[in-house]
Structure 1
Amino acid sequence: MPRLHQSRKRILVTGGAGFLGSHLIDRLIAQGHEVICADNLYTGAKRNIEHLHANPRFEFLRHDVCNPLKLEVDEIFNLACPASPVHYQHNPVLTTKTSVLGALNMLGLARRLRCRIFQASTSEVYGDPEVHPQREDYWGHVNPVGVRACYDEGKRCAETLFFDYHRQHGVDIKVARIFNTYGPRMHRMDGRVVSNFITQALRGDDLTIYGDGTQTRSFCYSDDLVEGILRLMDSSSQVTGPVNLGNPDEFTVLSLAEQVLKLTGARVRIRHLPLPEDDPRQRRPDISLARSTFGWEPAIDLAEGLSRTIAYFRNAS
């Protein structure tokens, strides 16, 4: 049945109380949509969405996607899953269940409702890549029994389910492989390199770098990433993905630490620790597909994004 109000949709965002999900909900609300945020608050936080509780177009539902959910919605954004190594390795079985059972339950809902569904996949599906930069046609180099496998393989299996539901049941899917993203509302104890450095610098602690710091990462500001998600979701039904979403500018971890020290004014040292197991040596997205398909590329450079993020951490402390 066609919707009566095409301009306003009723949208489900799983993992909506998380860092990225809460920014996505802000944009959807600003566009005039009704949003249901489903989150079990395992890594999400009420403070990320507390500014929305008085909004009549926002609803919070405490729910674990490992269990089925019965709702009537027009679109689904599936972002539910611990996304930082500290969190997803704390309970690796739960991490895998969230990726796999969560995908099954949300795909089942999308199939019943005949609605479009977005899957937040990850650059971790590429593992420690042997191809650089990473393109969507690269199958990855992943250790299936390592300490990161609960997240890497969980997300890879979720992608498999999305494309099998698309081929077998005709579900309208969108799959994005999200690279390192940072910005306000990051959890200060999530173990990600940006939040680690900023938190340590503001506390006056030494900055800890794992390994020699020559490993590279690409950092995408949250506003840019949300814009990419929305453009992918609004693209033609022929565009299923997977599509890389991330910033193609590549930095060493050491250069990131130096930028954080400069922007915070912290007078601390850099301390080196052993490199964690299966930590990728390099990571940079090829975003040619996103550019050519729906005209997306990041607009906020690292210095500007870090300044905004540092301001958030200063005010939140």
Structure 2
Amino acid sequence: MDVQSLNHQRSEIQSQYEGYTPKPSKPWPWSTTISYLLREQRLLFVLVGVAIATLFFSVQPEVRKPILQPETKANDFVPKFSSQMLAVRSQVSADPMAFVRPGAKIPLGLKRKPLRIVVTGGAGFVGSHLVDRLLARGDNVIVVDNFFTGRKENVVHHIGNPRFELIRHDVVEPLLLEVDQIYHLACPASPVHYKFNPVKTIKTNVMGTLNMLGLAKRVGARFLLTSTSEVYGDPLEHPQKEEYWGHVNPIGVRSCYDEGKRVAETLTMDYNRGASVEVFYVRIARIFNTYGPRMGIDDGRVVSNFVAQALRKEPMTIYGDGKQTRSFQYVADLVEGLMRLMEGEHIGPVNLGNPGEFTMLELAEVVRETVDPQAKTEFRPNTEDDPHKRKPDITRAKKFLGWEPKISLREGLPLMVDDFRRRLFGKSKGSSL
């Protein structure tokens, strides 16, 4: 295309736009706007909204800035303020009750929000009492139990509580939950039950503990293992300290429980050593003989045996010469110790037991005084691998937890007897049998 043709096209385009002027802008139609607002009471809703917003911001607390005195420099204020806060923090750490309103009830484990806690074996004797305490403290509790030795009756009074959940599950199988703490109590604890299926018992101690440790590590939960005084076996040291490694028969009829708990302690410590301390904490409690309400009536342990036999007018069975010794703690004391251990900073292991020592003959006499002065005893051959002496040294619990048992055998036993009497005969203390 030549230059002449391009000039011709340009002239045609310019002729099309000759005389074009932009459209003048119109003033804002205020009359239309006012009519819109007045229509259908829109103005009323606008005014109400403005009033609500004004009222909301007027009642908000004013953020007060620190007033600096003329002689105070701005840079000098921050260190002074920080030192005051550090002093308050140290005072609270030393005495958490220092800034609590007088008369207020602050439960064990002062915290800002309720915790989500799993209790394996929570329908059992000790577990159910622990669940009672945790719920009373305001926590959310998930009970995991396969009901081999646990009973629904132990936790049925919590059904309907929105902070309580019950899961029928065997800890030998993995479990996925989001929790803050795990109390691992799942395992049959009486000789009658753990000898019933010894392979299952040791699987519960090993696989169950592995699964719960794995859960705790995944979600960063604190983990407490309830071990046992049985890890000391038939001890050569008396009383037993946590540093004592024990004297256990690894192939005996009790080893499924004794060695199972020893392996569970090993797994717990190995998991802790291999995990980041910022997100994973473990605790180990070594529990000595415990008694109290909800204990299995025919579980084979000496206190429950004596009480049930005395109530049924049967002779109390003493194995061996009756001179072997045990220590007996009331379940409420144990639960207090477990909670202190979980909330504290000491890993353990820690002995939790009552250092009061009784022979089986002395225990039978206390039961006779409590239940029936006419109760009789009978002697039978001793069982295999039965420990001759058992008494805890609780120096570590006193030092690190500030814990020691408060309830003596003569104080706690009547509470257990009343519970057994009600469960056996449907009658409580004071009723005629």
Structure 2 residues without counterparts, runs of 5 or longer: 1-110, 425-433
Mapped partners of 2:355, 2:369: distance in 1: 23
Cross-structure match for 2:322? 213
Question: Scaled by the length of structure 1, what TM-score is found?
Answer: 0.97
**CA RMSD across the alignment:** 0.8
Cross-structure match for 2:422? 315
1:264 equivalenced with 2:375 (yes/no): no
SS at match of 2:195: helix
Cross-structure match for 1:81? 187
8 Å contact kept, 1:204–1:266: no
Structure 1 residues without counterparts, runs of 5 or longer: none
Mapped partners of 1:175, 1:196: distance in 2: 28
8 Å contact kept, 1:88–1:95: yes
SS at match of 1:293: helix
Cross-structure match for 1:45? 151
Mapped partners of 1:54, 1:214: distance in 2: 48
Cross-structure match for 1:198? 307
SS at match of 1:90: coil
Report how far residue 83 of structure 1 moved. Answer: 0.2
Cross-structure match for 2:287? 178
The aligned runs of 1:129-144 (5 Å cut-off) are: 129-144=235-250
1:199-224 deviation line (CA, Å, top 9, x unaligned): 00000000100011100000000000
Mapped partners of 1:264, 1:56: distance in 2: 39
Higher RCO structure (Cα 8 Å, ≥6 apart): 1
**Percentage identity across paired residues of the two chains:** 60
Mapped partners of 1:316, 1:52: distance in 2: 19
Amino acid of the structure 1 residue aligned with 2:117? I
Amino acid of the structure 2 residue aligned with 1:60? L
1:162 equivalenced with 2:268 (yes/no): yes
Amino acid of the structure 2 residue aligned with 1:67? E
Cross-structure match for 2:141? 35
The aligned runs of 1:1-40 (5 Å cut-off) are: 6-40=112-146
1:291 equivalenced with 2:291 (yes/no): no
Deviation >6 Å, runs of 4+:
none
SS at match of 1:38: strand
Amino acid of the structure 1 residue aligned with 2:395? S
Q: Could you tell me which of 245, 251, 266 is aligned with 2:358? A: 251
Report how far residue 55 of structure 1 moved. Answer: 1.0
8 Å contact kept, 1:224–1:299: yes
Mapped partners of 2:151, 2:360: distance in 1: 28
1:36-89 deviation line (CA, Å, top 9, x unaligned): 000000110011111111211100000000000000011100000000000000
Question: Scaled by the length of structure 2, what TM-score is found?
Answer: 0.71
Mapped partners of 2:255, 2:416: distance in 1: 29
Mapped partners of 2:166, 2:220: distance in 1: 23
